[in-house]
Amino acid sequence: MKGIGQELSVQNVSKYYGSFKALTDINLVCKPGEFVSILGSSGSGKTTLLKVIAGFERCSDGKIFINGKDVANVPCFKRNIGMLFQNYALFPHLTVAQNIAYPLKLRKLKKAEIDKKVSDMIDLIKLTGLGDRYPRQLSGGQQQRVGLARAIIYNPPLLLLDEPLGALDKNLRHEMQFEIKRITHELGMTTISVTHDQEEAFSMSDKICIVSAGQIQQFATPEQIYEKPANRFVAEFMGTTNIIPLKDAVYTDGDDGKTLVVGTSELTNGKCVLKTETKSIKSQDTNPFFALRPEAIHLAKEGSVYDNTFEAELTESIYLGQYVKAKAKVGSLLLNVTLDVREYRALDLTQKVKFCFDAEHTAILYS
Ligand code: ADP
Ligand code: MG
């Protein structure tokens, strides 16, 4: 099926509430059919951004284009956007089926067609048999699913979801994540979904937009965000990592199109070898950090040669079934490492443990 999705382009948008700046210079392009998650902690401006896109709030500065058209003067009900907002109430005097049918009635579809679509949708959101209930007779999670159904029933070309699965427990949340992804991809809707759940952002999105204090920290694919965080905030926000200062860095062109960075760090007690994409070098004379994920750290085998090795004292450890999470102490650094259970059990913990990591499995951070 040909995708119905529209392109959304947010350009230099800022938003003030009185003198408080809730959004600063937001730039974001969502291609037709893309699923984009806005990820950030509470109060970072996620809902405000959605409201500005929807037209519930005017931007103080900047422009928003939908399919190339500046929508500054298009009221929200004419933007044809499917929406599910936090606490976006269902109509209390309408049943589940009537709530879901509402957007179709507005669009004057035939009754038989409405009934069929609504009944399919009720099955899809796993509320079969509950079509005649009123919202007050539903749990929070059930109400949220009705809200979602009402937002997507008429196949909107642009869909805005504000924490759409927040009220669901874990299993149902996973199931609904899968369903939302399937529906939006099948129809090719462009979807912007707000969440504070990293795993949800990772599992659903083509791209993730990390927001902090009203500013975009990085807008990229989940892989790029995780493996090549733009800055220290993103590196620390996404999962667990280790941030290590790098001194006296010297940059040379590698023969693989990448840049070799050799510096010193407390971790490696001397030479530390890293690799980076050439374009990410900002300045030769700043003292950067590098991010080293726990899973990029491995036990070094005797007699093998590695880019980097270090010795650490393992302090705390937590057994997690498949693997062990531990803290490794090197000088003043306390690193997070993850180890295979069997490897961990074979270690002699009275001695320092020798670890290694690849130059490539690091990310250099300048801010
Ligand atoms: P999030 O959805 O990421 O939790 P919001 O976009 O709701 O964040 O809010 C961002 C910031 O703007 C918060 O500091 C919040 O207190 C403030 N804010 C939100 N709405 C208003 C409003 N109508 N008037 C004044 N301040 C607001
Ligand atoms: Mg919010």
Q: Which amino acid is at 88?
A: Y
pLDDT surpasses 60 at 76: yes
Task: Tell me the percentage of the chain whose pLDDT exceeds 90.
Answer: 66
**pLDDT score at 267:** 94
Model pLDDT, residue 366? 85
φ, ψ (nearest 5 deg) of residue 73:
-105, 15
Average pLDDT over residues 74-78: 86
Distance 55 CA to ligand 2 centre (A): 16
Assigned token pair, 244: 């290590």
Round to whole Å and give the CA distance between 303 and 9.
Answer: 54
Q: Are strands 207-212 and 258-265 parallel, antiparallel or unpaired?
A: unpaired
Q: In this predicted structure, what is the pLDDT of residue 266?
A: 93
Ligand 1 mutation pick, 13, 17, 21, max ligand atoms within 8 A of CB:
17
Predicted local distance difference test score (pLDDT) of residue 88 = 66
pLDDT value of residue 356:
96
Task: Give the residue-averaged pLDDT of 204-228.
Answer: 95
d(CA 337, CA 292): 10
- The segment with the largest mean pLDDT, out of 190-199, 208-217, 346-355, is 208-217
Helices (H), the chain: 46-54, 96-106, 111-124, 140-152, 170-187, 198-204, 222-227, 232-237, 341-345
What was the pLDDT predicted at 1? 44
**Does position 188 have pLDDT exceeding 60, yes or no?**
yes
Yes or no: say if 28 and 7 are a contact pair by the CB < 8 Å rule: no
Q: Which residue's alpha carbon is nearest to atom 13 within ligand 1? A: 43
Tens digits of residue pLDDT in 217-262: 999 999 999 988 999 999 999 889 999 999 988 888 877 888 889 9
For range 104-127, the mean pLDDT: 94
Sequence letter at residue 264? T
State whether residue 23 is helix, strand or coil.
strand
Helix (H, G, I), strand (E, B) or coil at 353: strand
Which atom from ligand 1 is nearest to the alpha carbon of 17?
Answer: 25
Of 20, 194, 197, which is best to mutate to test ligand 1, by the most ligand atoms within 8 angstroms of its C-beta? Answer: 20
Say if residue 151's pLDDT is above 80: yes
For residues 56 and 45, what is the distance between their CA atoms, to the nearest angstrom?
14
Minimum CA distance residue for ligand 1 atom 5:
45
| Residue pair 153/106 in contact by the 8 Å Cβ criterion | no
Ligand 1 pocket: which residues have CB below 6 Å? 17, 20, 22, 40, 42-48
Q: How far is the CA of 212 from the centre of ligand 2 (A)?
A: 13
Cα(197) to centroid(ligand 1), Å: 18
**pLDDT tens track for 131-141:** 999 999 998 88
Residue 163 CA, ligand 1 centroid: distance in Å: 15
Q: Which atom of ligand 1 approaches the CA of 86 most closely?
A: 2
pLDDT in tens, 303-340: 899 999 999 999 888 888 888 999 999 999 999 999 99
Q: What is the reported pLDDT for 37? A: 97
Other C-beta atoms closer than 10 Å to the C-beta of 177 total 20
The angle at the Cα of 102, spanning 97 to 105, to the nearest 5 degrees, equals 115
Cα of 335 from ligand 1 centre, angstroms: 35
**What is the whole-number distance in angstroms between the Cα of residue 196 and the centre of ligand 2?**
9
What's the pLDDT score for residue 131? 97
From residue 230, how far is each of 62, 87, 192, 196, 234 by CA, in Å?
24, 33, 21, 19, 7
Judge whether 9 and 65 are in contact, CB under 8 Å: yes
- Tens of pLDDT, residue by residue over 253-304, are 877 888 889 999 999 988 999 988 765 555 565 778 999 999 999 999 988 9
pLDDT digits (tens, 9 = 90+) for 4-59: 899 999 999 999 999 999 999 999 999 999 999 999 999 999 999 999 999 999 99
pLDDT band at 207 (very low <50, low <70, confident <90, very high): very high
Of all ligands present, the nearest one to the C-alpha of 86 is 2
Q: Whose CA is nearest to atom 26 of ligand 1?
A: 17
Amino acid at 83: M
The residue whose CA is least distant from atom 21 of ligand 1 is 17
